[in-house]
């Protein structure tokens, strides 16, 4: 598991670039008190550490006592943030708007009301241009305060205009709030449970969606954020229900939104990156290798943009999603061994950015790496990565835990570890049944694995063929789609029947989809 130190100050210092560290030293040395010198000493000590270890820190810095450490750390944390604030990002609309609001309040406190209103006018225009309705609400509240307390005579019908603007902003905020809540709750459901498991889940998520979707939301969603959260809500709703066509449509709408509002790309670059991730995921789920390859190229081009290269958060997100998309393309093309060449780079990325990655994303990477090894025939390495998921105690993605166990079981079957299989079958069956995760496909899989103990090696091929015929019947069933999405059981069975690796079967299917001429 990557380094996941939870010390906030250590994480902050490790995130700094060389120029930011240099700026901090210049900023803090303006004071020459002994406390200031101790904060620099602590900064240097933390900067040199690879992992946070408080005992080692105190041992190597005798001038800092254990009693002092907490206060010095708090002071240093504030100083680092203050030094970063000085190097302001001119493209960051939040910082610009916040600065204008500060200027307006300073002028107000000086009694310069007309000047304060002039700054607010500039702030309002900038906020409207970038759809920052929460700032517009603050501006209107402040404007009404000034007009109520002082007769500015700034313009006629001022009261009516401010009241109308406030009503419009409040209505927009209510809609944005409801849609963003819906999108967040649906995403949270997916993170906890994964895809819908049965009819009960399908009904539950449908009723929840219908109950929380605002009336006429599509008609009322006129601004950028209303549309963004509406598309996100439909996106998660479709993905949970394994409706991959609708998932694709709303992922595309999500990405296209930034073409309609190009001024919002610098403001919401992270949301654009997430939208591209979902679009690439939709192409993968629909087995559209051509569109996936095209979208990866488009995303690689965006990855060179300064919005990514000059922003740590965007850079980390982009790395994660590019690796995921490239692995998915290898899956579709059946080039698993080629995909394995990425694993060392992926491991380096997980190590370098481990403190910034959520456990959910790390577990997904482990599962995908395990699938690469399994597809290429290296079952032992697949088991190593699957064990990392199975041994993870975080209460996330029960579906991922289930399929990691199922693939783990099949990998041991492939290795001929029959002394373990009986125990593993019972263990995995109990786990999945407890999670209400058993589909018809999985029931058939367990029944086959039990039977295979009593069948000689010479008779296994007909058994594989029988299971394949049974599972083929479920390929178009939405409630069984989850099993095929996580584990290509059909290709595995075909590989057993033809005595080849899984990647060879998938490669042949890819050639067939692409047509003649593929080499």
pTM: 0.80
The angle formed by the CA atoms of residues 117, 128 and 173, to the nearest 5 degrees, is 100
Q: Is the pLDDT of residue 229 over 90?
A: yes
Average pLDDT of the residues in 283-292: 92
Residue 35 predicted with pLDDT over 60: no
pLDDT digits (tens, 9 = 90+) for 259-275: 999 999 999 999 999 99
- % of the chain residues with pLDDT over 70: 90
Q: Give the pLDDT confidence score for residue 180 in this predicted structure.
A: 96
The residue ranking higher by pLDDT, 159 or 186, is: 186
In terms of pLDDT, which residue wins out, 58 or 301?
301
- Cα separation of 103 and 163, whole Å? 24
Q: Which residues contact 51 (CB under 8 A, 6 or more apart)?
A: 3, 5
- Contact status, residue 378 vs residue 355, Cβ threshold 8 Å: no
Residue 156 has pLDDT above 80, yes or no: no
Residue 268 is encoded by which pair of tokens? 């919401």
Instruction: State how far the Cα of 338 lies from the Cα of 454, in Å rounded to an integer.
Output: 37
pLDDT of residue 518: 42
pLDDT of 89 over the 80 cut: no
- For residue 135 the two structure tokens come to 């700032």
DSSP state, 214? P
If you average pLDDT over residues 441-451, what whole number do you get?
Answer: 76
pLDDT in the model for residue 133: 92
Give the pLDDT of residue 259.
96
* Closest among 60, 51, 43 to 5, alpha carbons compared: 51
Q: How far apart are alpha carbons 264 and 307 in whole angstroms?
A: 12
Place 1 in a pLDDT band, splitting at 50, 70 and 90.
very low
Work out the number of other CB atoms within 10 angstroms of the CB of residue 131.
22
Task: Give the range among 193-202, 208-217, 287-296, 360-369 with minimum mean pLDDT.
Answer: 193-202
pLDDT at 517: 43
Residues 371-398 pLDDT 10s:
899 888 899 999 999 999 988 876 666 7
User: What is the pLDDT at residue 519?
Assistant: 37
> What is the three-class DSSP state of 434?
helix
Number of CB atoms found within 10 A of residue 371's CB? 24
Task: Express each pLDDT in 405-433 by its tens digit.
Answer: 888 988 888 888 878 877 888 888 777 77
Q: Tell me what the pLDDT averaged over the chain comes to.
A: 85
In the prediction, which pLDDT does 417 show?
A: 84
Q: Which of 74-78, 198-202, 243-247 has the highest mean pLDDT?
A: 243-247
Closest CA to 436 of 213, 202, 110: 202
Residue 3, pLDDT score: 43
| Complete domains list, the chain, with CATH | 8-86 (no CATH), 93-155 (no CATH), 350-519 (1.25.40)
């Amino acid at each position: 598991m990557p380094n996941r130190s939870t010390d906030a100050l250590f994480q902050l210092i490790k995130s700094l670039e060389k120029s930011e560290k240099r700026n901090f030293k210049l900023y803090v040395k303006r004071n020459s008190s002994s406390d200031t010198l101790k904060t620099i000493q602590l900064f240097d000590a933390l900067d040199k550490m690879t992992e946070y270890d408080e005992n080692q820190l105190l041992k190597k810095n005798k001038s800092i006592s254990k009693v002092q450490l907490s206060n010095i750390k708090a002071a240093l944390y504030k100083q680092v943030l203050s030094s970063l604030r000085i190097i302001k990002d001119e493209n960051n609309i939040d910082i610009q708007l916040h600065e204008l609001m500060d200027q307006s309040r300073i002028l107000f406190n000086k009694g310069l009301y007309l000047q304060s209103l002039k700054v607010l006018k500039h702030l309002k225009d900038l906020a409207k241009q970038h759809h920052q309705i929460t700032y517009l609400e603050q501006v209107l509240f402040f404007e009404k305060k000034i007009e109520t307390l002082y007769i500015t005579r700034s313009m006629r019908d001022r009261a009516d205009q401010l009241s109308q603007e406030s009503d419009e902003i409040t209505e927009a905020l209510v809609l944005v709030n409801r849609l963003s809540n819906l999108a967040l709750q649906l995403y949270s459901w997916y993170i906890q449970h994964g895809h819908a498991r049965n009819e009960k889940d399908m009904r539950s998520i449908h009723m929840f969606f219908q109950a929380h979707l605002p009336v006429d939301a599509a008609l009322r969603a006129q601004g950028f954020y209303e549309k963004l959260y509406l598309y996100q809500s439909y996106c998660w709703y479709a993905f949970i229900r394994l409706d991959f066509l609708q998932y694709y449509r709303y992922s595309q709408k999500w990405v296209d939104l930034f073409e309609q509002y190009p001024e919002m790309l610098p403001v919401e670059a992270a949301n654009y990156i997430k939208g591209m991730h979902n679009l690439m995921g939709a192409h993968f789920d629909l087995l559209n290798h051509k569109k996936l390859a095209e979208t990866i190229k488009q995303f690689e081009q965006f990855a060179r943009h300064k919005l990514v290269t000059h922003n740590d958060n965007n850079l980390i997100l982009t790395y994660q999603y590019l690796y995921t998309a490239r692995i998915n393309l290898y899956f579709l093309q059946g080039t698993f061994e080629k995909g394995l060449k990425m694993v060392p780079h992926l491991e380096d990325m997980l190590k370098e950015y481990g403190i910034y990655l959520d456990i959910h994303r790390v577990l997904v990477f482990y599962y995908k790496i395990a699938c690469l090894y399994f597809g290429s025939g290296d079952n032992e390495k697949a088991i190593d990565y699957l064990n990392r998921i199975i041994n993870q105690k975080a209460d996330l993605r029960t579906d991922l835990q289930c399929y990691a166990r199922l693939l783990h079981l099949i990998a041991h079957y492939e290795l001929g570890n029959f002394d373990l299989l009986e125990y593993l079958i019972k263990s995995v069956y109990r786990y999945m049944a407890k999670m209400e995760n058993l589909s018809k496909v999985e029931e058939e899989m367990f029944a086959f694995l039990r039977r295979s103990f009593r069948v000689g090696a010479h008779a296994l091929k007909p058994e594989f063929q029988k299971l394949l015929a049974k599972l083929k019947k479920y390929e178009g069933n939405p409630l069984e789609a989850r099993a095929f999405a996580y584990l290509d059981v059909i290709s595995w069975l075909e590989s057993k029947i033809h005595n080849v690796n899984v990647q060879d079967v998938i490669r042949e299917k890819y050639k067939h989809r692409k047509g003649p001429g593929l080499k």
